[in-house]
Amino acid sequence: MRSAVRRSHDSSPLINPVIVGNLGRETDWTSAVEGVNCVVHTAAQVNPGTRRKTTPHSEYHRVNVEGTIKLAEQAAAAGVRRFIFISTAKVLGERSATRQPLSEVAPYAPCDGYASSKMEAELALLALAKHTSMEVVIVRPPMVYGLNAAGNFSALTKLLDRGIPLPIAGIKNLRSFLSIDNLVDFIWKCTWHPAAANQIFHVCDGKDLATPDLVRAIERSLKRPVYLFHCPEPVLRWGFKLLGRMDIHQRLYDSFQLDAVKAKNAMQWSPVVSLEEALLQVTQEHKN
C-alpha cells in the first residue's frame, strides 16, 4: 500500500508516502503505481466555499480532468487492475424532485466548474476502460461528513455548538448524506468485489433527512438545546440574495436524494454505521 501526496507531510501517519507534486498533465505517477493492482483516486480541486474567492475553470480542468486522466493512463500502462475514482453526486446537478432519488442513469446536469470537471473526468475514464484492460469504478457520494469535515457541515456544526438560533423550522426537503466511515468501507469493497468492475455507484447512509431534522439529529449528538424558528421562505430568499449567497439558500431548501439500491444489491453493501451513530461520534470528538 502506498500514499501518493503532493508534498511531504511529516506529521501525518501516511503509509509509504510517494511525493508526486502538483496534479496535472505533467505529473509523473510512475513510482506511485508501479507494482500495485488497485488505485483509489480521491484528490481534486474543490470549490473554495466562499464567494470572495473563485477557482478558474482552467484550474478545475487541469487538476480534475487532465490530472485524473494522466494518472489513469499511467496506471493502465503499469498493469493496474482496477481504478476507483471518487467523483461527486453534483455531476447530476444540485437538486432532485422530492422523494424521487437520482439513480446512476440520471442525465448529467453539472451546475459549476467543479462538477463539470468531474463529469469530464468520468466520461474520459469510461472511454479509457473500453480501450484498456484496466477496470474503472466511479463512486458518487453526496455531502460527506466526519471529524474535521470542511464546508457546509462544519459551518452548521459550529453554529449549533454556539447556540445560534436558525430560521429553518419550516423547511420540508429531503437530502442524502454519507459518513466518512461508510464511504471508506464502500471504497474498500470496491477494491476487490467482482461486481464493481466498470460500474458507477451512488452511496449514502440510507436515511435521507430534511434540513431541520439533520439539525435536530446534530442537536441530540451535541446534547445541548438548538433553537429553530419559522421564517417565511420569501424573506430568507431575499436575505440570501442580498448577501449574494443563493447557493446556501438552495442547499437549505432543495431536495437532493440519491438512489443507492445498486450499491446495496450488486455489491451486497450496507452502511457500517447509522447516521445517528456517525453524528454522535463526530460531535463527541468535536467537543473533545
**Identified catalytic residue from 60, 114, 145, 253:** 114
Q: Residue 62: count other Cβ atoms within 10 Å of its Cβ.
A: 18
CA distances, 246 to each of 48, 88, 100 (Å): 16, 21, 23
- Residue 283 and residue 219: Cα distance in Å, rounded? 9
Which of 142, 223, 138 lies closest to 182 in space, CA to CA? 142
Q: Is position 227 annotated as part of the catalytic site?
A: no
Q: Which residues contact 82 (CB under 8 A, 6 or more apart)?
A: 37, 38, 39, 134, 135, 136, 137, 190, 191, 196, 197
What residues are annotated to the active site? 114
